[in-house]
Structure 1
Amino acid sequence: MTASSGRENPGPEHLPVFPTGTGVDGGVAAPAASRTRPGPRGRSRRPGGSTWRVPTALIALTVIPVIAGSLRLLELAGGPVLLPTNPRIDASPTPVVVHVVAVTLFALLGAFQFSTRLRRRRPGWHRRSGRVLVVTGLGVAGSGLWMTLFYAGAPGGYLLWAVRLLVGSAMAASIVLAFTAIRRRDIPTHRAWMIRAYALAAGAGTQLFTQGISEPVFGTGDLPKALSMTSGWLINIAIAELIIRRPARRRGRRAADAQTRALMVGSP
């Protein structure tokens, strides 16, 4: 009690506390002049609310090719034949086994690398899984290149053959560049190259849609097949480049806003 007013002076425990993620840093309420501006009404931001959206979407994109590859492995292990027969695979199954196992691990494990919250909370897991991704990613690219070079008579003609060589080489180069970038602690460059590698590896998921649209309209000839599969990779790369450049645009906007505020403060 204070002698002058007879009213209880509230301690810190009675002051309002703002929850984290509402536009105000958690803790005791700041004076009105120093509070950050609240966000739009009706759009409360929950910490981690969108943590799993991107990984879930990526897994959904790749799940059908992963299932198809698993059925092929089951067939090669002596199980029932559930997919169309492929004499090239029957004659040399080892590259297919390597490709399916590697791409399954790369697609599923790589999807969780897109969770910012998971990377920040478990950096050790991120580093360990990153090593696995380097090995499996090179396995995907290497086995894909081997099958392109040594499996004769693959559909799609010379155009698709050349595109597959380009995609496999680009994926391998992306992983090597990502690895060298993280070795010198260049995280933005590492992030950019790994995103590109994942986009190329996930091409089969997008190609389900591009081929599904192309075949009823243009048929199943070599040229339509080559163009529809190429468009799947191009769509993925375009989306990857948008994701890579988005943080740079945000940093540029924040820098411009800070410069504008500094000019306003310094103006008479």
Structure 2
Amino acid sequence: MPHAPCRQRSTNAWLAITGLLLLSALPIIGGVVRLSEVPAVAGSRPLASSVAAVAHIVAMTVYCLLGAFQFSPALRGRRRWHRTAGRVLIPVGFVAALGAAWLAVFFSGPPDQLPLAMVRLVFASAMLVFLALGTAAVIRRAFVMHGDWMARAYAIGVGNGTQSLVVILWTVPLGEVDAWGETWLVATGTLITVFVAELLIRRRAARRRVAAPAETALVS
């Protein structure tokens, strides 16, 4: 019986990982489709934008899939795994966010899609800031703060999956939306993921505050 809480935490962690992998599957499938279309549209847009699109899709795929396993306490406990995965995740995270930002800044699509591109630019910029703060925190060995910032960055990355779900749940019963409607749905999907991540971060912080006095009492 004393090991029951540990087993429960492990089960919850793997359920969370499975959920994140399933959530990542939707944008990854969409990314594979977009990759197959790159050669067809390469001649109609600058080479740099085609490179940015490929880099963004590949990097975001690696980031979402590998990043999900960083939420496993068992794997995080293996410092070699966590550090090795982190050394991959941080660079690919920057590549994914920079690729998205490039595509938004040098947007060349239909004019009515420009607001959606600007929304993506806002989230890509936020992801870059969170990754930078997480990197700075780990350099200072502020590991708790590092984990919080990386969780926020990952929430934006995996938010592409939430966007897809929100769009599906809206359009299936109500029909297709115009460009403005798509912009609002995409923004809502990512904000939902960011909000959930923030709740989890605050819950962890609250647990640490509760545990700290107990540990102090045991030591004294």
Q: Is 1:50–2:12 an aligned residue pair?
A: yes
With 186-195 and 250-259 compared, the bigger mean Cα shift is at 250-259
Structure 1 residues 14-25: aligned runs within 5 Å: 21-22=3-4
Offset of residue 158 of structure 1? 4.3
Question: What are the residue-to-residue correspondences of 1:73-112 with 2, within 5 Å?
Answer: 73-76=35-38, 87=41, 91=45, 92=47, 93-112=50-69
Q: Distance in 2 between matches of 1:189 and 1:255?
A: 16
Pairing 1:205-244 to 2, within 5 Å after superposition: 205-215=161-171, 216-217=173-174, 219-244=176-201
State the 1:252 CA deviation. Answer: 3.3
Q: Structure 2: how far apart are the matches of 1:224 and 1:70? A: 25
Task: Specify the code of the residue in structure 2 equivalent to 1:123.
Answer: R
**What letter corresponds to residue 243 of structure 1 in structure 2?**
L
For the aligned residue pairs, the C-alpha RMSD in angstroms reads 2.8
Q: Percent identity?
A: 36
Q: Is the 8 A contact 1:61 1:206 kept in 2?
A: yes
Structure 1 residues 220 and 102, CA gap change in structure 2 (3 angstroms): same
1:162, distance to aligned residue in structure 2 (A): 2.5
The answer on whether the counterparts of 2:159 and 2:194 sit within 8 Å (CA) in structure 1 is: no
Matches for 1:110-121 after TM superposition, within 5 Å: 110-120=67-77
Give the deviation of 1:69 after TM superposition: 1.4
Q: Measure how far apart 1:64 and its partner are.
A: 1.9
Change (3 A) 1:89 1:225: farther
Alpha-carbon offset, residue 98 of structure 1:
0.3
Contact 1:88 1:151 in 2 (8 A): no
* 2:30 corresponds to: 68
Contact between 2:107 and 2:114, CA under 8 Å: does it hold in 1? Answer: no
Q: What are the superposed Cα offsets for residues 226-259 of structure 1, whole Å, 9 maximum, x if unpaired?
A: 1000001100110010110111222334467799
Greater RCO (CA < 8 Å, at least 6 residues apart): 2
SS at structure 2 position matched to 1:175: helix
| Offset at residue 90 of structure 1 (A) | 5.6
Does the CA contact (< 8 Å) of 2:67 and 2:154 recur in 1? yes
Higher helix share: 2
Does the alignment pair 1:193 with 2:149? yes
**In 1, are the aligned partners of 2:63 and 2:92 still within 8 Å (CA)?**
yes
In the superposition, the TM-score normalised over structure 1's length comes to 0.71
Q: TM-score, normalised by structure 2?
A: 0.85
Cα 1:151/1:189, change in 2 over 3 Å: same
Q: Deviations over 1:213-234 (max 9, x none)?
A: 3335374212111100000110
**The residue matched to 1:48 in structure 2 has which SS?**
helix
Q: Which runs of 5+ in 1 are unaligned?
A: 1-18, 24-43, 78-84, 262-268
